[in-house]
Structure 1
Amino acid sequence: MAQTLVGERVVLLDPAGAAVGTALKSEVHHEATPLHLAFSCYVFDAAGSLLVTKRAAAKTTWPDVWTNSFCGHPAPGEDIVSALARRAADELTIRLGNVRPVLPRFRYRAVMPNGVVENEVCPVFAADTADPPEPHSSEVGGFEWIPWPMFRDDVLSGRREVSPWCALQVADLARFPSDPLFWPAGDPADLPPAVLDPAA
């Protein structure tokens, strides 16, 4: 589903994760951000290294902060795998393979120092790519490939500062095997209702 940046909309949710409406993405993040649908993705190369990105300075939430490979919001009515492919292309100019949910129930709320809130039901996916990233500067301020065990341990120890959602996700992902190629896929049935039936 094509959207212009000005008209991009996010899906608003009830506490159970069902869709209850939409809002303009440009207007949804403030001191009382409503619960809405998002996703995070961890992209690995054939050696099991993680693509880590720095959020662009122009981002509304957590600018210039290092985080997982990319995040995004499904458009109203958009299949989440299609949304993942769209954001991977828009942010990093990469194609994804072996896309699977790994933390299908993840949600979080975080507050920036200026009071702006993130409040998301945000299932986490893992994927692979063979493409060299060519990031768009409006989305990504930098990137690097890091072996997953090194990134995991640095985040858990506090040696590496990352976005609040990434820190929480890494703590959950740390229970999985050190080789991300052997991470178990989560049950798709555990994804929020708004993902399971995007047309609702």
Structure 2
Amino acid sequence: MADTLLGERVVLLDPAGEAVGTALKSEVHHAATPLHLAFSCYVFDAAGSLLVTRRAAGKATWPDVWTNSFCGHPGPDEDMAAALARRAADELTIRLSGVRPVLPRFRYRAVMPNGVVENEVCPVFAAVTADRPEPHPSEVDAVEWVAWPTFRDDVLAGRREVSPWCAWQVAELAALPDDPLAWPPGDWRALPPAALGSAA
């Protein structure tokens, strides 16, 4: 599915995580953003270092903010694994392996200083890549590889500023082993109901 600013649609959800409709991504984020389906991914290299990215200055939400490797929205009827692969290619020109849910029921709401709201059921995934990132400038301004324990500890201590969703995710991921390559995979069946049709 093509990821275009004008035509991409997101899946709207009820409080139980069931799909209740769709909306254009270009129109869904505002002061009363409806609950919708998203995902976050933490990409590691073979040594267990995390790919950290800075969101492009032109992004509608949280521009110029450092965050996890990438985020996105599965389209209506789009397989979740396919959506992850699509966004990895679109944002960073990388291929993923070992994709697995690690926080399958993560949900958050965050408000920007200008009043724009993110309101997402956002399962969190981990994956590995052997590729060198080549960021798309409309999505990502900068990248760096950071040892996971260093990134985790710096975020938890407030030494590294990141997006609000990343900070909350790291707080939950901190309970997992220091070696992210040893993180136990979550159950794909624990994804929100709207995403169960895309479970691997």
Relative to the length of structure 2, the TM-score reads 0.98
1:143 to 2:138 alignment: no
Query: Per-residue deviation at 1:188?
Result: 1.4
Distance in 1 (alpha carbons) for counterparts of 2:79 and 2:18: 15
CA distance in 2, matches of 1:197, 1:133: 30
- 1:68 is matched with which residue? 68
1:183 counterpart = 2:183: yes
Count of paired positions: 198
2:121 counterpart residue number: 121
Alignment-derived partner of residue 105 in structure 1: 105
For residue 25 of structure 1, what is the aligned residue in structure 2? 25
Query: Cα 1:149–1:136, aligned 2, differ >3 Å: closer, same or farther?
Result: same
Determine the C-alpha separation between the residues in 2 that align with 1:179 and 1:94: 22
Q: For structure 2, which runs of at least 5 residues remain unmatched after alignment?
A: none
Question: In 2, Cα distance between the equivalents of 1:81 and 1:190?
Answer: 15
2:54 counterpart of 1:51: no
Q: Distance in 2 between matches of 1:129 and 1:8?
A: 26
- Give, in angstroms, the shift of residue 3 of structure 1: 4.5
Query: For the residues of structure 2 that align with 1:189 and 1:59, how far apart are their CA atoms?
Result: 32
Separation in 2, partners of 1:183, 1:21: 34
Task: Look up the SS of the partner of 1:159 in the other structure.
Answer: coil
Q: Give the distance between the partners of 1:160 and 1:146, measured in 2 at CA.
A: 12
Residue 4 (structure 1) shift: 3.2
CA distance in 2, matches of 1:60, 1:5: 11
Say if 1:55 and 1:31 are closer, same or farther in 2 by CA, change over 3 A: same
Query: CA offset at residue 197 of structure 1?
Result: 2.2
Alignment pair present for 1:195 and 2:195: yes
Partners in 1 of 2:61 and 2:44 — Cα distance?
25
| Residues 90-122 of structure 1: per-residue CA shift (max 9 Å, x gap) | 000000000000000100000000000000000
Q: Residues of 2 paired with 1:52 and 1:4: CA distance?
A: 24
> Aligned with 2:54: secondary structure?
strand
**Superposition misfits of 4+ residues, deviation over 3 angstroms:** none
CA distance in 1, matches of 2:5, 2:67: 22
| Partner Cα distance (1:56, 1:76) in 2 | 25
Give the share of equivalent positions with the same residue, in percent: 81
- Could you list the per-position Cα deviations for residues 112-156 of structure 1 after superposition, in whole angstroms to 9, with x for gaps in the alignment? 000000000000000000000000000001000000000000000
